[in-house]
């Protein structure tokens, strides 16, 4: 095929990802879409910029509403799952975070696999494949004792800047219940669901969380930083009824969940694979078992994943320092590229012939570094064919404003997805 012919083929393929049309659609993109090219490994690859998905394009399932910093919208994986897989095929995410890709794939009737070096990821994702009935959650909560206020702080950990003493007593009661049940081998689906919801409700910026007002989205600041916020706002932690908040959040997560979606979730849960480890070494997964990977890796040194989750780790009995060492992100492009090159080699092993990888990155360092241009040659060297890059244009987000992150400043404000195919 001539260079011009190959270019036309790739552009035709990318145009099929324009939203709001029949799927798949192989015709030209709308006039407002923008094209340019990225040179990599001796050839130009097309980059298409358009609005592919927005929060209003589809109403995502309420089951996704579990806070986890640096996660993408469910519309992103759905966009590729719908176009590149069939029901029953397996979809994978090696950097799964809160499990957006896995959950969206399950809701769409696909089989799922997910990996994350942070064990919190599995605790937040896996229970949502087995959603309980609210009445069962309420009954189980009635069995969980609350600690007495005199026991608060018995381990020497001062949490008074976050929680009212009676609230903290209830939190400690929940924590001890889960730890004891886990140690006895009695932790069941109801327990893991309640633990997931409680972990999500620990700290936040509204009365729906257990804590006094703190920065969203549900990441705990240091004790000293929280004391500063309390002093600045003149606030003291009010009492929160943790059991009632868990039940309320459960009902919110399950609202609108359709019978067909529950059926799909049960199907996915039967052989779902949730791994906790290095994305470069997933030897328990078979060669060629994935039809599609949709993922977003850590972006250099932008986010302190470990620091955000220290309180969650305490609550779930995890070692935050050990986890922090394992998930620290590279601080140079060269180191990051080396890590991602090894990830691509593993993805090449896992992807079936004719399968795809949608690798989402963004801009960092005030927009000067476009990571799609770094990722493209890495996938090519691993043996993938590249169709090009899709750049989703999106408006500035409320969450980014709250965190004080400017557009293309410290964070990222566009989804840059490099699309590969296993030859």
Q: Is residue 202 part of a domain?
A: yes
Q: Is residue 398 part of a domain?
A: no
| Domain's final residue, options 253, 279, 295 | 253
pLDDT in tens, 32-54: 568 889 999 988 999 988 888 76
Query: Does 112 share its domain with 261?
Result: yes
Query: Does 231 share its domain with 248?
Result: yes
Q: Is residue 100 part of a domain?
A: yes
Tell me what pLDDT residue 412 has: 45
Adjacency order of strands within the sheet including 290-295: 34-40, 43-50, 384-392, 415-422, 351-361, 290-295, 90-93, 111-115, 273-275
Query: Does 140 share its domain with 103?
Result: no
Q: What CATH number is given to the structural domain containing 281?
A: 3.40.50.150
pLDDT in tens, 243-252: 999 999 999 9
Question: Could you say which DSSP state residue 9 is in?
Answer: H
Query: Does 331 share its domain with 304?
Result: yes
Q: What are phi and psi of 252, to 5 degrees?
A: -65, -45
Q: Which of 141, 138, 128 is nearest to 257 (CA)?
A: 128
Q: Is residue 393 part of a domain?
A: no
| Structural domains in the chain (count) | 2
Q: Is residue 36 part of a domain?
A: no
pLDDT in tens, 341-371: 999 999 999 999 999 999 999 887 666 789 9
Question: Could you say which DSSP state residue 69 is in?
Answer: T
Q: Is residue 403 part of a domain?
A: no
Task: Write out the residue range of the structural domain in which residue 285 sits.
Answer: 58-129+257-368
Q: State the alpha helices, DSSP H only, in 108-258.
A: 119-125, 134-143, 165-183, 189-200, 223-233, 242-254
Helix (H) or strand (E) holding 387: strand 384-392
299 vs 33, higher pLDDT: 299
**Cis amide linkage into residue 249, ω under 30° from 0:** no
Q: What are phi and psi of 39, to 5 degrees?
A: -85, 130
pLDDT in tens, 233-288: 999 999 999 999 999 999 999 999 999 999 999 999 999 999 999 999 999 999 99
Query: Does 349 share its domain with 269?
Result: yes
Read off the pLDDT band of 408 (50, 70, 90): very low
Query: Does 166 share its domain with 89?
Result: no
Q: Is residue 231 part of a domain?
A: yes
The pTM (predicted TM-score) of the whole model is 0.90
Q: Is residue 40 part of a domain?
A: no
């Amino acid at each position: 095929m001539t260079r011009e012919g190959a270019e036309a083929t790739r552009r035709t393929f990318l145009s099929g990802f324009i939203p709001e049309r029949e799927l798949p659609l192989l015709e030209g993109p709308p006039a407002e879409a923008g094209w340019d090219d990225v040179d990599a490994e001796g050839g130009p690859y097309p980059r298409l910029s358009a609005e592919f998905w927005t929060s209003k394009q589809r109403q995502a399932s309420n089951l996704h509403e579990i806070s986890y910093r640096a996660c993408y919208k469910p519309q992103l994986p759905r966009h590729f799952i719908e176009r590149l897989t069939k029901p029953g095929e397996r979809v994978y995410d090696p950097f799964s975070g809160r499990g957006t890709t896995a959950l969206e794939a399950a809701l769409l009737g696909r089989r799922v696999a997910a990996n994350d070096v942070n064990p919190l990821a599995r605790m937040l994702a896996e229970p949502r494949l087995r959603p309980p009935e609210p009445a069962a959650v309420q009954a189980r909560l009635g069995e969980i004792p609350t600690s007495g206020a005199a026991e608060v702080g018995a381990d020497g950990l001062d949490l008074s800047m976050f929680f009212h003493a009676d609230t903290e007593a209830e939190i400690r009661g929940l924590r001890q219940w889960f730890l004891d049940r886990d140690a006895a081998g009695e932790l069941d689906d109801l327990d893991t669901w309640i633990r997931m919801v409680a972990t999500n409700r620990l700290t936040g910026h509204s009365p729906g969380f257990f804590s006094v007002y703190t920065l969203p989205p549900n990441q705990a600041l240091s004790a000293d930083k929280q004391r500063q916020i309390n002093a600045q706002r003149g606030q003291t932690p009010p009492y929160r009824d943790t059991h009632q908040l868990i039940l309320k959040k459960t009902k919110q997560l399950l609202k609108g969940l359709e019978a067909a979606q529950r059926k799909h979730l049960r199907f996915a849960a039967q052989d779902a694979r949730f791994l906790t480890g290095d994305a470069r070494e997933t030897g328990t997964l078979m060669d060629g078992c994935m039809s599609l990977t949709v993922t977003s890796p850590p972006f250099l040194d932008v986010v302190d994943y470990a620091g955000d989750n220290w309180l969650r780790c305490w609550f779930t009995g995890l070692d935050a320092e050990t986890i922090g060492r394992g998930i620290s992100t590279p601080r140079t492009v060269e180191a990051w590229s080396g890590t991602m090159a090894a990830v691509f080699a593993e993805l090449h092993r896992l992807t079936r012939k004719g399968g795809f990888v949608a690798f989402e990155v963004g801009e960092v360092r005030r927009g000067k570094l476009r990571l799609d241009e770094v990722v493209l040659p890495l996938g090519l060297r691993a043996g993938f064919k590249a169709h090009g890059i899709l750049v989703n244009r999106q408006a500035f987000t409320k969450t980014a404003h709250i965190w004080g992150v400017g557009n293309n400043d410290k964070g990222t404000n566009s989804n840059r997805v490099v699309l590969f195919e296993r030859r």
